[in-house]
């Protein structure tokens, strides 16, 4: 292990880094001393040298440390390791004001998610490497290693399952962002970026199966509503009727809605984040006004009765903000399980224990019959959002209008998720065009 020793002399404060070559007791002693007009700058150089030495297994000589730390190496190389650069990168992007992040800043929960991905998926493979050592070949080897990673190891499946293609691509996207911020100051170009003019994926990123949301029919919506307990029944109507994200709906306050007048609306200004923190919505486009129907207004009117402007519209039974996992486990999954059971063909009862009462049916113990009265699928709460959009498309809303309503940052996101629902909607429009053309032809003939 390298150590930093502080030395004060007539010329100022110096910082001496000491280590044994190779890290063994028999290795030759090496030392590098750093001085500067500003002691803090000298200390920073010494700390950087210590990190560099330890990341390279103490195999660097004194001259090599000086060359890399003092930038006497070839142009375009850097003495920074990826791990050190991530620390600097993250520090620069922490929002000074979490409620108003700047242009180059990232929301706290988003930044925490990025750092979690880096710690779990990137640092074990290349965190010790210098930025100048990371090239396209290293990125390609890392992607290969990542695709071989297995997760969710259990007693029944000790080998685990391979990491998903989406997780591999997300990790690559975060690495791309981090290395892109290092160019061109510390490295000449971003090794995780695709070279200009090259369309082919050269590092072996897996293909992602396009996501398909579950679009519920009106009958399925009604069946679910009938089996929701009072704690979430109104919430289900709100989600299906507005397309709000669950984290946006759970922190709505009385002051966030306007129910009187010709244009009742919900103003989305907050969202529930990880760790039960309330922060800004997902993106700038997510701060929006959502018009609401008469059915949703009637639900919200009852929810606002007797409440102050700052009170939650959908509090938990304890009066606090819901924990999403608790809501799903205690209320949503039981409701879906009940909706999937048929009164005429119920699932088998659980085995009776030797002592005590028989346990209740689990949410996954459902009927298997083809009866029309029961729910045959197991949607997520988020599928209320997809269902709402499918209804908008059925009512001939444009994808641009839908993007603004649901708060997608990019129009591409709206097209990728819902574009396929628009296909086949042109038949009636073509029929109208055909009638107009036929009339034109008839007029010319006359």
Per-residue pLDDT tens over the stretch 123-144: 999 998 888 889 999 999 999 9
Residue 73 reports pLDDT greater than 80: no
Per-residue pLDDT tens over the stretch 240-283: 999 999 999 999 999 999 999 999 999 999 999 988 999 989 88
CATH number of 82-182: 1.10.150
- Write down the pTM of the prediction: 0.71
Long-range contacts, stretch 26-35, CB < 8 angstroms, 24+ apart: 27/58, 30/60, 30/61, 30/62, 30/65, 31/62, 32/62, 32/65, 32/66, 32/69, 33/7, 34/69, 35/11
Residue 368 reports pLDDT greater than 50: yes
- Give the pLDDT mean for 350-363: 90
Residue 48 reports pLDDT greater than 50: yes
Residue 300 reports pLDDT greater than 90: yes
Residue 441 reports pLDDT greater than 80: no
Q: Percent of the chain, pLDDT > 70?
A: 90
Q: Where are the domains of the chain?
A: 3-69, 82-182, 218-339
**Mean pLDDT of all residues belonging to the chain:** 87
Q: What is the domain class of 218-339 according to CATH?
A: mainly alpha
Higher pLDDT, 199 or 335: 335
User: Within 10 Å of residue 46's Cβ, how many Cβ atoms?
Assistant: 24
Alpha carbon distance 408, 390 (integer Å): 15
pLDDT in the model for residue 178: 96
79-88, 263-272, 401-410: least confidently modelled range: 79-88
pLDDT in the model for residue 44: 84
């Amino acid at each position: 292990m390298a150590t930093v020793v502080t030395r004060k002399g007539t010329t100022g404060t110096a910082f001496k880094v000491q280590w044994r070559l190779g890290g063994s007791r028999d290795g030759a002693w090496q030392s590098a001393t750093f001085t500067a007009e500003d002691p803090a700058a000298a200390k920073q150089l010494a700390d950087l040298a210590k990190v560099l030495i330890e990341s390279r297994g103490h195999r660097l000589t004194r001259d090599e440390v000086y060359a890399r730390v003092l930038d006497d190496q070839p142009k375009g190389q850097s003495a920074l390791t990826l791990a050190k650069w991530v620390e600097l990168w993250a520090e620069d992007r922490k929002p000074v004001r979490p409620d108003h992040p700047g242009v180059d800043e990232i929301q706290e929960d988003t930044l925490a998610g990025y750092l979690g991905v880096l710690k779990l998926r990137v640092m074990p493979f290349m965190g010790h490497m210098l930025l100048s050592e990371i090239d396209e070949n290293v990125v390609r080897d890392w992607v290969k290693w990542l695709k071989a990673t297995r997760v969710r190891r259990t007693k029944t499946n000790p080998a685990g399952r391979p990491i998903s293609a989406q997780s591999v691509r997300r990790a690559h996207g975060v690495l791309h962002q981090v290395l892109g911020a290092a160019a061109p100051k510390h490295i000449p170009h971003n090794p995780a970026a695709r070279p200009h003019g090259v369309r082919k994926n050269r590092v072996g990123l897996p293909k992602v199966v396009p996501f398909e949301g579950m679009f519920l029919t009106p009958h399925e919506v009604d069946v679910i509503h009938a089996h929701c307990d009072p704690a979430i029944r109104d919430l289900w109507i709100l989600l299906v009727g507005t397309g709000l994200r669950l984290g946006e709906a759970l922190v709505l306050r009385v002051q966030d809605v306007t129910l009187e007048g010709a244009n009742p609306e919900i103003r989305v200004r907050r969202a529930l984040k990880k760790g039960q923190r309330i922060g800004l919505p997902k993106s700038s486009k997510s701060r929006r006004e959502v018009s609401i129907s008469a059915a949703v207004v009637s639900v919200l009117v009852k929810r606002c009765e007797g409440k102050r402007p700052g009170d939650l519209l959908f509090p938990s039974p304890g009066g606090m903000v819901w924990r999403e996992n608790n809501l799903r486990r205690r209320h949503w999954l039981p409701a879906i399980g009940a909706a999937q059971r048929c009164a005429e063909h119920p699932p088998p009862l659980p085995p009776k224990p030797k002592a005590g009462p028989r346990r209740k049916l689990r949410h996954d113990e459902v009927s298997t019959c083809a009866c029309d009265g029961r729910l045959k699928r197991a949607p997520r709460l988020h599928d209320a959002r997809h269902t709402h959009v499918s209804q908008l498309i059925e009512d001939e809303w444009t994808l641009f209008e839908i993007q603004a309503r649901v708060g997608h940052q990019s129009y591409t996101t709206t097209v990728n998720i819902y574009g396929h629902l628009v296909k086949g909607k042109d038949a009636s429009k073509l029929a109208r065009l055909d009638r107009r053309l036929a009339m034109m032809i008839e007029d010319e003939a006359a």
